[in-house]
A and B are shown apart, each in its own frame.
Chain A
Amino acid sequence: MQTLLLDTSGPFTTVLITKDGTLSASCILRDRPAEHLHEQIQTALDTIHSSPRDLNRIAAVVGPGSWTGLNIGVTAAKTLAQVLQIPLIPLYTLDVLAASEGKPSWTLMNAGRSQCYYAQHSSSGSAEMAVAPIDTVTRQIHTDPDLTRILEYGDTFKERFPGNEMYRSMDRLPPDALVQAMHAAPGIQGADIKSLTPVYLQPSHVEQDASR
C-alpha cells in the first residue's frame, strides 16, 4: 500500500510517500507557494523507483493555510486521484498539529484580521475547528484548567504566552505528524474528490468587506 502525501499549506512544501504505513520517501522544499510541487512528487517517486501508477492513495492537507498553496495542492491532489482512480484523504491543518504532540492540546493558527482558527483537542476527541478573535481565544486558553499543550502553526501567539513552556510555535507540519494524521483520517472517493475544495473557512477579505 503506497500513499502520496502532500502539504502545501505553509512556507514549506512537503511531499512524502509512505509504504505500508511507514515513510519511504520525502522531498521538502521551502519556497514560493508550491511552485515546484510536481517536480517534488517526481523526485520522491524516483528515489524509490516508483511511478504514479504504483500509488494506492493520496492524502493532502486541505487547510486552513496559504490560499494559493492550497489551491495548487488540492488541485494537484484531486487531479492525480481523478486520473489514477484512487481514493483521497483530506487532512486538516489543526488535526495534523494535534497529531504532532499528543492530546490534550489547543491548536491555533492566525486567520488574519485579528482572528484565529482554533480547536481544543481533549483526550477523548477533538472539538470542531472554529474561528474567533485572537483575544477571545487567548482568554479561553488562559482559563482552561486541563491545559497541557498549545500548538501554533506560525508565531502570532508567541508574545501572548511568554515563557510558557506549554506553548510551541511550528513553522511547518512535521512529516511524522502528517503520516499519523493520515492514518486517523477517512478517505473520499469519486464525485467527492472532484468537488473537494480547500478549507478557506472564511470568505475572502473582499467578500467580508462587501458584506459590511
Chain B
Amino acid sequence: MLILGIDTSCDDTGAAVVEDGHQVRSNIVASQYEAHERFGGVVPVIAAREHTANISFIIESALETARISFADLDAVAVSHHQGLMLSLVVGVSAAKSIALACDIPLIGIHHLEGHIYSNLMGRSDELHFPFLCLTVAGGHTLLLKVVSHGTYELLGHTRDDAAGEVLDKVARHLNLGYPGGAAIEKLAKDGNPHAYSFPRPLMNRPDGEFSFSGLKTAVTAAIDRDPDLNQADLCASFQQAVIDLLVSKTMRIAQKHQLRQITLAGGVALNTPLRKALQHAAQEHEYQIFTPPRDLCMDNGAMVAGAAYSLYQERGPDPLSIAALANAPLGKTGIRYRHESKYK
C-alpha cells in the first residue's frame, strides 16, 4: 500500500511516500527558516504563504523520488489536527484535491500521532503495546502511554513552555540560529555541563508534570548578566538541565506505570546526549529505549503516512469534510491537555 503523507502543520512543508507503513520511499521537507528568520519566530501568515508557494513542488518531488505517479497512490494522508491554523489548511486542501482527483481514501492525522508513530514504523516486531512515549518537540512535551493503535493515555505534560521551545528561545537569545536545539548541542560538546547550576523545576515531584520556563528565565538572565560568558559552558549546563528533567521524569513515570519500553519522539529526539542519557538510565533498570530514524524526528510527511497506514486499518477513510483544527484532542479517548499553546 502506497501512502502519500503531507505535513504543513507549522513552518516546514513536508511530503513523503511510504510503502506498507514502514518503507520510506521518499521524504521531502522544505524548511522555511529563512522566511521567518528576521522576525525572530514563526509568523503564521508567512508560513501559510510559503506552504502555498511550495506545496506542489514538494509533492511532485516526493512522487519523483519514490519513482511513482499519482495513479500509483493507494491513499493520501495529511496532518489536519494540531498546528498553526493558517498552515494546516494548505496541506489539507492539497490532500483533499488529491483524494478527489485520484479517487483514493483521505486520512486525517493528528500531528502528534505522526510523531508517536515515527517509532512504530517497521518496529511492530520489537515494540509492543502498551509502551511509553516521550514526545519532545517545538510545541509539545508530553508523556503518553500508547495503549493500542490510536488510543493514548496522558501521563504527563509541560505546564508552560515545551522543551524544544525553550531550546529555541535560548538559542535565539545567543543568536545561534535554527533549529536551536541542534545549535546548542553543537556548542555544548566542548563545554562543561557543571559550569552553571541551573534550576530543574518540578524535577523531584513524583508526577509527570514538566516545567521549563523557570529554567529558560535563569539561562537568559545568565546570558544578560555576562556578555563575555563562555557559550560552550552555558549551553552544556543548560542542555544538561533539560536532559536531567526529561530523563528523570520519564524513568519515574515508566517505573510507576510498569512500562518497560520507552520511545522518544519529536525534534528534540535528535539530541545525541539526550538519547545517550536515556539509554544509560534505562539500562540500569533493564528498560528498553527506542528512537526514530533521524529523518523522522523533525516534522515530516513520512511519519504522517506511517501513522495513517496503521490508523486507516482501524478507522477507515475520512470524508472530504474533515477540517483543520489548531488545538485538537488526541486519539480515541480525546485527550486534551492544558498548557499555553503556541498554536492559534
The interface of chain A, by Cβ under 8 A from chain B, is: 34-39, 41-42, 51-53, 67-68, 71-80, 82-84, 193-195, 197-198, 200, 204-207, 210
Contact = CB atoms under 8 A, between A and B. Distances in A.
B320 A79 contact: no
Size bin of chain B's contact surface: 20 to 34
A39 B43 contact: no
B53 interface: yes
Given A75-B52, A204-B43, A206-B39, A51 B103 contact: yes
A194 B57 contact: yes
Interface string B91-106: 0011011101111000
The SS class assigned to the B binding surface is: helix
Contacts of B223: none
Nearest to A77: B97
A134 B93 CA distance: 34
Nearest to A193: B56
B48 interface: yes
Contact of A68 (B48, B60, B96): B48
Contacts of B43: 204, 206
B52 A39 contact: no
A204 B100 contact: no
B56 A71 contact: no
* From B43, B57, B97, residue with most partner A Cβ within 10 Å: B97
A135 B146 CA distance: 61
Given A71-B48, A74-B52, A206-B45, 14 more contacts: A38-B96, A38-B100, A39-B320, A71-B49, A72-B89, A72-B93, A75-B93, A76-B97, A79-B97, A80-B101, A200-B49, A204-B49, A205-B45, A206-B46
Contacts of A195: 53, 56-57
B94 A79 contact: yes
Contacts of B163: none
A77 to B, nearest CB: 8
B256 interface: no
Given A72-B89, A84-B101, A210-B38, A198 B320 contact: no
A72 B102 contact: no
A156 B283 CA distance: 68
B55 interface: yes
Interface in B119-138: none
A204 B45 contact: yes
